[in-house]
Amino acid sequence: MVKIKFVDFWRDFDPEDNYFIHFFRRHFEVELSEDPDLVVFSVYGYEHLTYQDRITLCYTGENVLPDFNRADYALGFHYLEYPGRYMRFPLYVMYPGFERLAFTGPIPDAGRLLDRNFCNFVYSNASNADPTRTEFFRRLSAYKRIDAGGMHLNNLGYRVSDKQEFIKNYKFTIAFENSSSAGYTTEKLMEPMVVNSLPIYYGNPLVDQDFNAESFIWMKDGQEVDRVIEEIISLDRSEDHYLDKMSKNWFTPEQAAVNWEERLLAFVRPIFINLVKQNPSHGFLLHQNETLTCMRGLYEKRMGLNRKKRLIKKIISFGKY
């Protein structure tokens, strides 16, 4: 029995109901524990620093390189070579509907595909996202209205509650990543594919190693805005051109043949069977861990002060009415 603890994952992450715990339970005898053998952590906090004496497995779905001084093993989207300690496992593999995209079939009802609204844009993150996304929205909006259903640039008057239900009603979906980095392909490309909305993609410069570049509209860099808009207008005005684009296989043949479950199992099986740490227990790394632990304490104090400030502002604002 391997005892597991999940720490430093995203806000609504459920230790009892997530991709990894279901995968582990299918293949190993595991239990969640406060005294773990294996700590699985992500990049949204620093609690993992208190478990440096345990075996650690880092998962990053964000544009952050795994730190192998903190993690014995890691999963991420980067193209890295670290035999036995790292495996490329992009975020989109865990996306609901991923399995269906690996197989091709007849094109869905052509009339339904064509009889839809023009384009959608559903984003809430603007503060730390590549400004190319916002600029592209404004440039393409000069051709036709784009329905923005997220918090950012919202023009509907409400925020959509079910993104998949929303975007399936559009011929095109702006599917830009928060940043451009080699290998970094998130769910943003998968979401429109699952509901047969044509993605307009910007982000991973190596995306064509996973996905068929003929199956979506790809803006490779910020200098291609004019070319991409011309392509969108051409597709929008030509039913045959649009349907031909939609008939392409989403994945490259090589990626369509990948069995990600088998690949992941081959990577984690030695971890679960051997339970061997990889990071040294002595040397300069100890000093680094102490420094990071101190930084974590300062960070948590600052975040606590920020929460108090927000609460005080709310109380003052409430008192004005």
CB-CB contact of 210 with 255 (8 Å): yes
Q: Give ranges for CATH 3.40.50.11660 in the chain.
A: 103-250
**Percentage of the chain lying above the pLDDT 90 cut:** 71
How far is residue 233's CA from residue 297's CA, in Å, rounded to a whole number? 53
**Structure tokens that stand for 231 in this block:** 């392509």
Whole-number pLDDT of residue 108: 67
- How many other C-beta atoms can be found within 10 angstroms of the C-beta atom of residue 56? 24
Q: Please give the model's pTM, rounded to 2 decimal places.
A: 0.85
How far is residue 160's CA from residue 173's CA, in Å, rounded to a whole number? 14
User: Residue 102 — pLDDT band, cuts 50, 70, 90?
Assistant: low
How far is residue 164's CA from residue 197's CA, in Å, rounded to a whole number? 10
Higher pLDDT pick, 310 / 140: 140
Whole-number pLDDT of residue 141: 98
Whole-number pLDDT of residue 170: 98
Burial group, residue 243, by CB count within 10 angstroms (0-12, 13-18, 19+): middle
**Structure tokens that stand for 214 in this block:** 């003929």
pLDDT digits (tens, 9 = 90+) for 29-53: 999 999 999 999 999 999 999 998 9
How far is residue 223's CA from residue 284's CA, in Å, rounded to a whole number? 45
- The CATH architecture annotation of domain 2-94+260-279 reads 3-Layer(aba) Sandwich (3.40)
CB-CB contact of 217 with 248 (8 Å): no
Q: Which CATH class is domain 103-250?
A: alpha beta
Give the CA angle between residues 267, 270, 273 to the nearest 5°: 140
How far is residue 176's CA from residue 286's CA, in Å, rounded to a whole number? 40
Q: Give ranges for CATH 3.40.50.11650 in the chain.
A: 2-94+260-279
**Structure tokens that stand for 296 in this block:** 């974590």
- CA distances for 103 relative to 171, 194, 248, 291, angstroms: 21, 12, 11, 49
CB-CB contact of 133 with 179 (8 Å): no
pLDDT digits (tens, 9 = 90+) for 288-299: 777 777 777 777
Lowest mean pLDDT across 99-113, 224-238, 257-271:
99-113
DSSP three-state, residue 95: coil
User: Residue 190 — pLDDT band, cuts 50, 70, 90?
Assistant: very high
